[in-house]
Structure 1
Amino acid sequence: MNILTEKFNTPYHSAPFNSIKNEDYLPAFRELIRKSEEEIDRIVSNPEAPSFENVIEALAYSGEQLDTASHIFFNLNSAETSDELQQLAQEISPILTEYSSRISQNEALFDKIKKVYDDREIYPLNDEKNMLLEETYKGFVRSGALLNEKDKEQLKQINMDLSLKSLQFGQNVLASTNAYYKQVTRKEDLAGIPDAILEQYAEEAKERGLEGWVITLQYPSYIPLMTYAENRELRRELALANGKKSFDGGEFDNQGLIKELLQLKQKKAELLGYKNYAEYVLEERMAKSPDSVLNFLNELLTKARPYAEQEIKELENLAQADGIEAIQSYDHAYYAEKLRKQRFDLNDEELKPYFPLEQVQEAVFRLSERLFGLTFTERTDIPKYHEDVKTYEVQENGVYKALLYVDYFPRKGKRAGAWMTSYKNQYRKNGENSRPHISIVCNFTKPTKDTPSLLTFQEVTTLFHEFGHALHGMLADTQYPNLSGTSVKWDFVELPSQFLENFCYEPEFLKTFARHYQTGSVLPDDKIKKIEQSKNFMEGYQTLRQIGFGMLDMNYHTRPKELENKSVKEFEDEYTQATQLYPSNPDTAMSPSFSHIFQGGYSAGYYSYKWAEVLDADAFQYFKENGIFNPEVAARYKILLSSGGTKDPMELYKAFRGSEPKVESLLKRAFGS
């Protein structure tokens, strides 16, 4: 018996992680693909006239077991991978891609879908059913249903190649990150670095059987070094290593893969009748076109650049006082922290004792209860994939609402960054509301034998960000799984996450949880005031940085042919030049580790972070006008979250806010104008 092909005999049918063996995956995927294709065959061979129920709805509910197995496998490949899992991913990804192509290019199935779509006026469909019909039809067309047989076969091969190459890109970044470490044997070389971080470096060295201290490129190790180390040469060395990830010409170099991925995306777009891949992607986004994205980014660039230049000038003045004539990018975090300390009398190490991880988590739990009526109870009987993971049953008014997994600490088998994902989507069927299983994955500093995990304030906002995504998933209340939770337009998906970050800067809320882990004392009012005042510290710089990523992404996906005559480094420098504030280092490039667009789902979509900032600034302004815990406003926002992708996102937003979002809300929050 293969446990992945059976109904899970676990609480709430949660993933049976402790019973799954690596050798289960490949045969399970083959069997579940076979079962899913049988479901498709039943839809196609149904002798009854095509209808919304026997075609569109039946298709939406098909393949549930296959989806569950896919969620389990690929989530683990991100959070707890191994050489064996990575090898399996290379085998499983093309199998799934080929299966997906067979479904999307099934002519008999598409004929039935098209018949229902063409006759849609005769069906009494509500908004959600209309959206499902529209998305199903468009999804098939955008997957090649209208192509001839030769082009369908070519598209199928392109999709398979994209799947494998994007997977390889991510594996290279992880391997390149893990391959580097810096051993330091003299404590004076680590001057300026707080004791808690030194303890972390010492433990890393001990785990590796080395003397002294070890710094890695994992963010909880790398960022403190860049922020606090007085040793400029050490900062330069680490920044160089970080900037060379998958860009050193070695085994894990991604430059060739970038060109191959972009060529494949361009071919796919042209095959489907689009000028470029960005046009293909943006047809299904709020922004609609590359021109509207670039206009949006350029409008922000014009507004933000003077602020950013002034910020860098202030850092240059500090650096010159230390005898540094020309400040470099590897000096930025160090002098920004100095300036922040000088201006606001704040530094992360002073704040961290007030933000132990468990306390911050409890705060976001209580906020969810206050706004949305959710409660969280830890469960020890839910299987988990690593001892660091904790699981919670989420309830609303005493009724089961969702499962939540939290996985907070870095490991060799976990990719960098922070993300929310799901193991099971919510949907309603046959009178039952099947609830979601949601996961948050982060890379915070691990507790030591003497100190709990203490978060920087940026990590506090990161936890709230991912929890905003999680609420989108946990509050889902739709009929169909493919319109549930975060299944929304990509430039709308960041609204719930970025919205929740705003609460971290509200004194009224901060006072409820920012307490010293040893003394229990509340974070002093003057520090809370400084946090509030520092919200927009280096906002110009950060805005330009995000705009630069967005512009680079958009140009990669509108101008890929230019890479035939340019290196990745040349292309990157050219299309980020307008946003650069420091000299470019010829030995580093960020594109080869730009996993968001080359491995994740942000291809031609990185702009959505800034786009969603307009939405979240406008939405939170509405809360501020009415009280940040206002129950009526929270109830309206809860409807937006629970509606998933059942309506056009602008319709959902206007129903919540009463008007379209205004870019002025973001500019006012960021720059006071």
Structure 2
Amino acid sequence: MDVNKLQWDLTADQVRTRTDALIHRTLQVYDSVGTLDIGEVTYENSLKVLANVENEYVVEQRNLIFLRYVSQHEDVRAASTEADKKLSEFDVDMSMRSDVFQRLVALQERINPKALKPEAKRYMERLLKLGQRNGLHLPNKIQSELKDTKKQISELCIEFMKNLNEDTTILLFTRDELGMSHGGLPEDFLGDLEKTDDDKYKLTLKYPHYMLTIKECYIPETRRKMETAFYSRCKDANTRILEKLIPLRAKAAELLGFCSHADFVLEMNMAKKKENVAKFLDQLYQKLKPLGEEERSFILDLKRKECAERGFKYDSMINAWDMYYYMTQTEKIKYSVNHNYLKEFFPVEVVTTILMDIYQDLLGLSFTQLKHAQTWHNDVTVYSVQDSLTGNVLGQFYLDLYPRDGKYGHAACFDLQPGCLLPDGKRQIVVSALVTNFTKPTKNVPSLLQHAEVAIFFHEFGHIIHQICTQADFVMFSGGNVETDFLEAPSQMLENWVWEKEPLKRMSRHYKNGSSIPDDLLEKLVQSRLANIGKKSYKLASDCFQ
């Protein structure tokens, strides 16, 4: 059944109206379960009812709140953000319905576990576990305090992300400050930038501007300004949020009997306790330290020589704004990989086509672009996914690849309509969206991807495929709703294609002459996977452990 229930032309008023209607409908269902006579609770009138309303709720909820990440209309984004706050508060209320929880406890005591399908049994057990993690086994006074705390946490998290998405910081640099007198940033990048009346270039803090500048600009002060601005986005507003959020999370964990927020989170993960994480990171830190120090010495020597050649002061440190730049220089020196040249072989249209070919061949899928499907922006494309063997439609996905004001600023896969069984036993198709911020095409040059962006594309698309191929009965276990420790595994495995010679050869086509990556450059690119590996991993373990 090919049914996409999502709607993208909603006005701000419609977002508000539909939010209230969704809350009203869902509340009625929870009330019906919560008022059941304890002795009359059955799978059909409790667990199945909750599963059905969960699916209806999730699809509409995600439709309403996804608009805050992608809508081109500021009033719609604002209404969507308010909807997210209202629905998140409602989620807290429903997650702490002790009356519903007691009916589920009664069901577990009365029902023969063998009478339930394995996934239904797991659904019941998970709801009961989540009820305990929401404090429904605790005294009413503690439940009330916990509910208020969780609502505050939810609102603060939403506001934090809203501030980042709406950030419009602009930095101004002269041509010399971008290093154009002696190399520096590529001319095609500068040619696409807006300029002020006094001939300064406008750089945003979106990923295409930020990453290229800190990787390629040899002027330390320019990198410092860019790095500082990037990690100071919304500094005042979001710092105030964090100052409230951190103690609130600690308070919620304490009310639930945990020593810390970390312990609360880890209870549902393989690690279980923060001490296990600290021990693992300490061991990793010690093993990586020799390699990390060796690479650190190489980078410092590189910096010392470059500072002497260019007349910069050498401070004997690898500053935050030095790291990406000198890692990039290391790749150029050790492996002769120039990513600004390499990206000319990765036009986004070619990468997209081959990426889809690989996933179709590998998993027996068939993708068809839907030319006239409704979207939230003209840049967005939509594809239908079928099982090649049966012809059954499994789902649809959207590709929203380029940055714009107000849009989500990183790269992510959004599960909008989960795959599951509907009340009539038919399967609901999956609808997902891939949102990235790759460099926009210009009149003369298509969107060209750095190899790191190709890896991001494959990784996030792996999440799309993971969601679309789901065969779960319940929303709670659909697609990416797996155990946290496994969530990234499919994408991490599938992104390895960008380090294999044969697929790299297939997906590379120079935007001017259509040639593939030369074999010698291809070999160097594959070898460069080991560049800075000790420093990257050592820094990660060091930062986490400390």
- Fold match by TM threshold 0.5: yes
In structure 2, the partner of 1:416 is: 409
**Counterpart of 2:232?**
244
Task: Describe the superposition over 1:283-303 as per-residue Cα deviations: whole angstroms up to 9, x where unpaired.
Answer: 111222111222222222112
Q: Which residue of 2 aligns with 1:591?
A: none
Offset at residue 239 of structure 1 (A): 2.1
1:88-99 matches, cutoff 5 A: 88-89=79-80, 91-99=82-90
1:2-401 correspondence to structure 2 within 5 Å: 12-18=3-9, 20-46=10-36, 49-80=40-71, 83-85=74-76, 87-89=78-80, 91-175=82-166, 177-184=167-174, 189-190=179-180, 191-201=183-193, 204-205=194-195, 211-247=199-235, 252-322=236-306, 323=308, 325=314, 326-327=316-317, 328-397=319-388, 398-401=391-394
Instruction: Work out the number of aligned pairs and report it.
Output: 533
Amino acid at match of 2:83: I
Aligned-residue RMSD, C-alpha: 2.3
- The 1:504–1:537 alpha-carbon spacing in structure 2 relative to 1, beyond 3 Å, is same
> When the two structures are superposed, what TM-score results if normalisation uses the length of structure 2?
0.92
Partners of 2:419 and 2:197 in 1: how far apart? 46
Q: Deviations over 1:118-165 (max 9, x none)?
A: 345444233312211111111122122222222222122112111111
AA partner of residue 34 (structure 1):
H
Q: What residue identity is the alignment partner of 2:367?
A: F
- Match in the other structure for 1:603: none
Residues 356 and 14 of structure 1, relative CA distance in 2, 3 Å threshold: farther
Letter in 2 for 1:286: M
Over residues 522-578 of structure 1, what are the superposed CA-to-partner deviations in whole Å (9 max), with x where a residue is unaligned?
211111211211112111222134335544xxxxxxxxxxxxxxxxxxxxxxx3xxx
**Corresponding residue for residue 597 of structure 1:** none
Q: Distance in 2 between matches of 1:49 and 1:158?
A: 34
How far the C-alpha of 1:87 sits from its partner, in A, is 4.1
**Higher mean C-alpha displacement, 21-30 vs 142-151:** 142-151
| 1:309-365 per-position Cα deviation (integer Å, ceiling 9, x unaligned) | 211211111222121532433222222222211211111112111111111111221
TM-superposed deviation, 1:212: 4.3
Name the CA shift for 1:87/1:515 in 2 (closer, same or farther; >3 Å).
closer
| Structure 1 position 253, deviation (Å) | 3.5
Q: Does 1:447 align with 2:441?
A: yes
CA distances 1:202-222 after superposition (whole Å, capped 9, x unpaired): xx33xx777442222111001
Preserved CA contact (<8 Å) 1:56 1:136: no
Residues 85, 158 of structure 2: 8 Å contact kept: no
Secondary structure in 1 aligned to 2:432?
Answer: strand
Kindly state the Cα deviation for residue 406 of structure 1 after the two structures are TM-superposed: 0.7
Partner of 1:403: 396
Contact 1:405 1:439 in 2 (8 A): yes
Structure 2 counterpart SS, 1:253: helix
Corresponding residue SS for 2:41:
coil
Aligned-residue sequence identity (percent) comes to: 27
AA of the residue aligned to 2:286: T
Return the alpha-carbon distance in structure 2 between the equivalents of residues 188 and 401 of structure 1. Answer: 48
CA–CA distance in 2 between the matches of 1:118 and 1:449? 67
The separation in 1 between residues aligned to 2:90 and 2:225, in whole angstroms, is 46
Q: Measure the CA separation in 2 of the matches of 1:243 and 1:99.
A: 33
- Say whether the 8 Å CA contact 2:96–2:131 is kept in structure 1: yes
> For residues 550 and 462 of structure 1, what CA distance do their matches in structure 2 show?
23
Q: CA deviation at 1:245?
A: 2.4
Q: Report the alpha carbon displacement of residue 434 of structure 1 after superposing the two structures with TM.
A: 0.8
Question: Residue type matched to 1:493 in 2?
Answer: L
Structure 1 partner of 2:479: 485
**Whole-Å Cα distance in 2 between the matches of residues 331 and 109 of structure 1?**
55
For 1:260, give the aligned amino acid: K
Q: Is the CA contact 1:15–1:383 (under 8 Å) kept in the aligned structure 2?
A: no
- Cα drift, residue 81 of structure 1: 6.5
Deviation at 1:410, TM superposition (A): 0.9
Specify the code of the residue in structure 1 equivalent to 2:251: K
Q: Quick one: which of 507, 516, 528 aligns to 1:513?
A: 507
Deviates more, 1:494-503 or 1:454-463: 494-503
Residue of structure 1 in register with 2:493 after alignment:
499
Name the CA distance, whole Å, in 2 between partners of 1:229 and 1:254. 29
Structure 1 residues 545, 79: closer, same or farther in 2, change over 3 A? farther
Q: Distance in 2 between matches of 1:512 and 1:378?
A: 21
Give the match's secondary structure for 2:337.
Answer: coil
Instruction: Verify the 8 A CA contact 2:418 2:431 in the aligned structure 1.
Output: yes
Q: 3-state SS of the aligned residue for 2:396?
A: strand
> Which one-letter code corresponds to 2:410 in the other structure?
G
Note if contact 1:98-1:156 (Cα within 8 Å) is conserved in structure 2: no
Distance 1:185 1:346, change over 3 A: closer
Is the alpha carbon distance of 1:256 and 1:152 closer, same or farther for their aligned partners in structure 2, counting shifts above 3 Å?
same
Q: Provide the rounded CA distance (Å) in 2 between the counterparts of 1:110 and 1:495.
A: 33
Partners of 1:29 and 1:66 within 8 A in 2: no
Question: Relative to structure 1, is the Cα distance of residues 210 and 23 closer, same or farther in structure 2, using a 3 angstrom cutoff?
Answer: farther
Moved more, 331-340 or 82-91: 82-91
CA distance in 2, matches of 1:421, 1:147: 34
Whether 1:534 and 2:524 are equivalent positions in the alignment is no
Q: What amino acid is aligned across from residue 265 of structure 1 in structure 2?
A: R
Q: 1:172 to 1:363 in 2, by over 3 A?
A: same
